[in-house]
Chains A and B, each alone.
Chain A
Amino acid sequence: MVKTTVLTPSQRSPGARDSEQGIALSHRLPRLALEARRVSAFVNGVHGRRKAGPGETFWQYRMLTPGEASSGIDWRRSARDSKLYVREREWEASHTIWMWADRSASMGFASSLAQAPKVDRALVLALALADALVDGGERVGLLGLTRPLASRRIIERLVEHIAGDVAGMDADLPPARAIGRLDEAVLISDWLTPLDKVLAALGSIGVQGGRGHLVMIIDPVEESFPFAGQAELLDLESDLRLDVGDANAWGKDYRVRIAAHRDAIAAACRKLGWTFTLHHTDRNASEAALRLAGLISSSRDMRAA
């Protein structure tokens, strides 16, 4: 018989354990792959935009256009000539990744088949990715909570903010906060919300053209429903309860429905140009982390191209 456990709200907040696991996982991520891509695409940890703009690296000298502020003149270069030159630097801007991890009551669930509760898995994934990305020169922010950060102690900073966010304990969906056109969002949840609400949330985030990565964390029990006999099902977020006379028979319908829900979300992601990652809590967290790191990197390349 499969046993299920439900976490209390305090257990759903990130703690030292999640931080440590996040650090450990981020350290296990293949640094080499990120490194290689950085050589080609990153300069000093930021992305060169292949055009003039604010930055540190020399891009080109150009003639001073009349009306331009004299402070931009490169006097050393101009002294060799009779013309006035302006020294332009390459426009450098670092990428921003917005993270969001669902910490609602439905996430605080683990069955005896799972390795960890869903919320643990979500937080570990988010923190590990944040650490790896900041290491790689990106800026990471919590969607709706922080500005993009590039701190060396990114995990501690993020954990502080997450722990301070009491309202987020009940939020089933990410805050409807639009991200920049070039930003990316990593949204980790169980997405056990009606499809239209999910679509609305995704739409409002990507309204400026930002893309994202959707991670669906599910407990193996939620997929297979291995119960039989008489059962009383309890919902964690509402007082909803359902007496099921024959769990086995009910499970057959359930499996069809949950598969349909999952497929619908995946299809919606594809339509929006987002990626969809399915992660079971009976699998190792590193699998999902690896896949996400790969997805973020490849989307970067795609955009850079």
Chain B
Amino acid sequence: MLGLPLSFMAPIVLAGLVALPALWWLLRVTPPRPQRIAFPPLKLMADLLPKRETPARTPWWLLALRMLIAALVILAVAGPVFNPQGGQESASREPLVLLVDNGAASARDWAGRVQLAESLIAGAGRDGRAVALAGLAEPAASLALGTPAEAEDRLRALALRPHMPDRSAHLADLQSLLAVAPGSDVAWISDGVRLEADDAFSRRLTELARNGRVTVHAASAPTMLFLTDVENLASSLNVRVVRAQPGAPSTVNLRASDQRGIVLGETTTLLPASATETTASFALPIEVRNAVTRIEIVGERSAGAVLLVDDSAKRRRVGLVTGVTADVAQPLLSPTYYLSRALGPFADIREPRPGISDPIGQLLDQNLSVLMLADVGGIDKDTTARITAFMERGGVLVRFAGPRLAAASDDLTPVRLRRGGRSLGGALSWDAPKTLAPFNREGPFAELSTREEVTVTRQILAEPDGELSRKVWASLVDGTPIVTAERRGAGLVVLFHVTADTTWSSLPLSGLFVDMLKRIVALAGAAAADIGQTGEARVETVSPVTVLDGQGAFRSPPATARPVPRTYADRAVHAHPPGFYGPRNATLAINTLKTGDRPAAIDFAASGLTTRAIEAPQARDLRPPLLVLALLLLAADTLATLWLGGRLKAMTRARAVAASLLLAVLASGAAGLHAGPAKAQTPTQAPAQVAPPAATQGTTVPVPREQVAAAATTRLAFVLTGDRRVDDTSKAGLEGLTLALSTRTALEPGEPVGVDPSRDELGLFPILYWPIVAGRPQPGAETMRRLDAFMKGGGFVIFDTRDADAQRSGRATPEGDHLKQMLSIVDVPELEPVPRDHVLTKTFYLIDGFPGRYDRGQTWVEVLPPPGPDGRGPARAADGVSPIVITSNDLAAAWATDRRGGPLFPLQGSSPRQREMSLRGGINLVMYALTGNYKADQVHVPALLERLGQ
């Protein structure tokens, strides 16, 4: 339509557009509803007929709006579809051969691939072409041409497979098909990933379709991530994240979960732009690491991004005990040195603490999987029993020969050893060192190859025995056993007939030693139950128990899944989908990729193939946006009609807000409809936009110099009331207190300062002395809020009403009223007179009261929390320093001294030491404010003294 790729599902409805002019006329003569006005004087005016009866015209813009709505609705009902043909132009009439990669590497955009295939089949259907369809991850079956409907059915049945496609298997079929229909177009919807070293399939495909009609639909760069190569190292569980081609740097989140799906750990690794692989490691405790059975890339719904972990990757705990006296200075001579170096990469090594009396017992307590005894001779009965029990439970005992073992006799060996008078002679010596014979095919070392450089100079010999040959895992070229093993209960005992160090053989220096140990350690636990039967030449097959589907989720095995031998170590194929095989406690994990697999990108250009994008051009239904737009316009029309009818202003404000909110929601909904795809393309932009505000928060405000000076030294501060006499007294009093503090305590405060709480920063002063003057104006609410914040932020305020002499019982003084009014908006805690055991009475001096110029006034502090549940006194002064002290004793007047240190004001009180006591009280107040309640411990003093017997 109009050159646009636009078509209508019901074009007949468009005829309705013709009716628009009629609608115009109809709308024009239907005016908005008149306003109804109740009007009492009407009865007087009934004869006053209106002069002009013509109704108000519908405004043209309202008409236009309504016409637009009608047009939009008609258009929407006609079902416009944008780009319905999918842009698959094809002039050919030849059959179409559609090859679809449905392996693990297609998982990410599988739906898009299916859509592309559908549109290709639909295009072929429109052109009347025959179609053949093959999923390349399916087993090869005869490829036959059929109708597009059949191909569509087959496509619907085509599932995403969890294994990598074996494309070459389909070449023969393809060849035979192309022989029948030589002119066919071949379309390959490829995942762009190969595992084979060379790209045989692409080349062969080009050759087969000689007319060059091969189209490859593939993403420009395969971005699928795979997991492979799990390693359980000493401190972490490592796994490789690989991809076929370097690309954008991406942060990969991995999750490890156990058999029941409980997440055990998460980790993040960064895949750099230039790299195709990186290592992610889970730093987890070993017990947790061993429980991991499944590692997956979060957000990557693909079997390739799931790595199943079986027992072989579990990290065993190996206990090492040597009978040799450890010579710490020469570690290379220690038999355990080679063992711990060899075991270190794949096992968790435990050694007994030096000097312990029962090293084996101590290690067995640590829940070992494997116990290695390097040249341990005399084992006492109890320990023997424990080791036997350990093996019965599935433990593996590995013993290494040596002088002590040769001398000892116990039954913790797989074979009877020659000892007695020939015991020493049991360690033979040869003229020429012997090398190892090829390994027994049935033993666990079957896959290892012997090394020439391994030589044995001494060994312990076994008693010849009918059973002996079944117990031998490795032997020397002359047939004498070098490694023997025997099953004991669920466990195993393995004997190396050489030492663990290099004195008898060079085996510990060889890489073979590591491999041998690795295999032995892997036998520990339940797996030993199967391979422990070494003599029986039987490789057990295990059946699939749970397998992965294409999306990487567990499912029950399909009918096509076949059992595998336990030694299966290849990547998953169609008959053996990735999953867990075998019984629950001895599972074998098969993964999409085998260890060492590195997917590579297929270079289509090198094979002469052209590629197209994978996206199927999406036919877009334009109905929803049109209808939403019409709805929005309808809402606008309603509002306009209301406005014309004079009802809009009558709406309450809240209703108007609600209406506009509704509009906004509708509008955003409509916007969301359109903005959906755009949003999905830029998910990484969001964090970058958040960052700048955080950076701007660090701007600093210059601090006034007087504040810096005030903060540099600790000072006492008093509030300037505006009453000169009181301010002078406060200043003199605090000076006197400062002097007393400097002479008597470790605190040397600076000059006291007067502050104006409405202006000055209070937070710089630990103590604020606030004399109350009745006549002065009340500080503002803002000031009191600042004071509140000061008190809550750890400040300490002494309010002094200075009216103890004027107080009479039951009558408020002007200063008291002033203070009460002032504090009415401050969050003042509950107050009480200072209790006798309050920490204030013992922060520096032990005092009873806080006299000032008067000694009658009560001193109030915050109520202490109630005693602890045990009812003991000490818990009283738990924590929390009172932020406020209210007194009426005119403290400053008592502290005030003139320049020569003489008192400024006479005191009113009975005690001759009142001035001294008031200073002590002041010092206690300052100490309380500065040190908090640590002196609360003083309440323990009576108990301590009593305990000391004084």
CA of A75 to CA of B37, assembled, Å: 76
Q: Is the CB of A192 within 8 A of B36?
A: no
From residue A109, how far is it (CB to closest CB) to chain B in Å? 5
* Minimum Cβ distance to chain B for residue A279 (Å): 15
CB pair A1–B34 under 8 Å, yes or no, is: no
> A238 — which chain B residues lie within 8 A by C-beta?
43
**A1-21 to B contact mask, C-beta < 8 Å, 1/0:** 101111000000000000000
Task: Report Cα–Cα, A1/B648, bound state, in Å.
Answer: 9
B25 in contact (CB, < 8 A): no
**Nearest-CB distance from B41 to chain A (Å)?**
5
Known: A244-B50, A253-B48. A234 touches B42 (CB 8 A): yes
Residue in B32, B34, B44, B53 whose CB lies within 8 Å of A192 = B44
- Chain B interface size band reads 20 to 34
B44 lies within 8 A of A249 (CB): no
B38 pairs with A229, CB closer than 8 A = no
Q: Are B50 and A235 in contact (CB under 8 A)?
A: no
- A36 contacts partner chain B, Cβ-Cβ < 8 Å: no
Query: Residues 128-153 of chain A: 1 if any B CB is under 8 Å from the residue's CB, otherwise 0?
Result: 00000000000000000000000000
Q: Which B43-90 residues have a C-beta within 8 angstroms of A?
A: 43-46, 48-56
Out of A234, A245, A249, name the residue touching B37 (CB < 8 Å).
A234
Residues of A with C-beta under 8 A to B646 = 1, 229
Question: Is A190 among interface residues, defined by CB-CB distance under 8 A?
Answer: yes
| A233: chain B residues within 8 A (beta carbon) | 37, 39, 42
* B260 located at the interface, meaning its Cβ lies under 8 Å from any Cβ of chain A in the complex: no
Number of A-B residue pairs at CB separation under 8 A:
111
**Does A237 sit at the interface, judged by CB under 8 A?**
yes
Tell me which residues across on chain B come within 8 A of A232, comparing CB atoms: 34-37
In A160-194, which residues have CB < 8 Å from any B CB?
Answer: 190, 192-194
Contact for A258 among B34, B44, B51, CB less than 8 A: B44
Alpha-carbon separation in the docked complex, A230 to B31 (Å): 9
Chain A 254-288, CB-CB to B under 8 Å as 1, else 0, gives 10011001000000000000000000000000000
- Distance (Å) between the CB of A288 and the closest chain B CB? 19
Contact A246 B44 (CB under 8 A): no
B4 close to A (CB within 8 Å): no
A30 to B408, CA, bound (A): 131
> Which residues of B657-686 have CB atoms within 8 Å of chain A's CB atoms?
none
Judge whether A61 is part of the interface by a CB distance below 8 angstroms: no
User: B56–A246 contact, CB under 8 A?
Assistant: yes
Q: How far is the CB of B708 from chain A (nearest CB, A)?
A: 62
Given contacts A231-B37, A232-B36, A242 and B42 within 8 Å (CB-CB): yes
Min CB–CB distance B62 → chain A (angstroms): 14
Contact A236 B34, CB 8 Å, known A253-B48, A254-B48: no
Chain B residues closer than 8 Å to A253, beta-carbon distance: 48, 51
In this complex, the interface size class of chain A, counting residues with CB under 8 Å from chain B, is 35 or more
Q: Does residue B649 face the partner (Cβ distance < 8 Å to A)?
A: yes
B793 at interface, CB cutoff 8 A? no
The contact of A249 among B34, B41, B51, B55, by CB within 8 Å, is B51
The answer for the CA separation of A169 and B32 in the assembled complex, in Å, is: 36
Residues of chain A within 8 A (CB-CB) of B41 are 106, 192, 222, 254, 258
Is B650 at the interface (CB under 8 A from chain A)? Answer: yes
Neighbouring B residues of A240 by C-beta, 8 Å? 42-43, 46
B-contact 0/1 string along A202-246, CB 8 Å cutoff: 000000000000000001011000010111111111101111111
Q: Are A227 and B55 neighbours in the complex by a CB distance under 8 Å?
A: no
- A235 near B52 (CB under 8 angstroms)? no
Q: Are A261 and B38 in contact, with the CB atoms below 8 A?
A: no
Residue B902 interfacial (CB < 8 Å): no
What residues of A have a CB within 8 angstroms of the CB of B37 in the complex? 4, 227, 231-234, 247
B704 contacts A by Cβ under 8 Å: no
B777 at the A/B interface (Cβ < 8 Å)?
A: no
Interfacial chain A residues near B44, Cβ < 8 Å: 192-194, 257-258, 261
Residue A250 at the B interface, CB < 8 A? Answer: yes
Q: Which residues of chain B are near A257, meaning CB under 8 Å? A: 44-45, 48
A4 touches B38 (CB 8 A): yes
What B residues does A194 contact at CB under 8 A? 44
Q: Is the CB of A234 within 8 A of B50?
A: no
Whether A229 and B35, one on each chain, are in contact in the complex, defined by CB atoms closer than 8 angstroms, is yes
Q: Are A106 and B54 in contact (CB under 8 A)?
A: no
Q: A1-B646, A229-B35, A230-B56 are in contact. Are A245 and B40 (CB under 8 A)?
A: no
Of the candidates B40, B52, B54, the one whose C-beta lies within 8 Å of that of A236 is B40
CB within 8 Å for A235 and B40 given contacts A245-B54, A245-B55, A257-B48: yes
- Identify 15 new A-B residue pairs, CB closer than 8 A, beyond the known A106-B40, A235-B40, A243-B53: A1-B649, A107-B40, A229-B646, A230-B31, A231-B37, A232-B37, A234-B37, A235-B42, A240-B43, A240-B46, A241-B42, A242-B45, A243-B34, A246-B56, A253-B51
Where the two chains meet, the residues of A that have a C-beta atom closer than 8 Å to any C-beta of B are 1, 3-6, 105-107, 109, 190, 192-194, 219, 221-222, 227, 229-238, 240-247, 249-250, 253-254, 257-258, 261
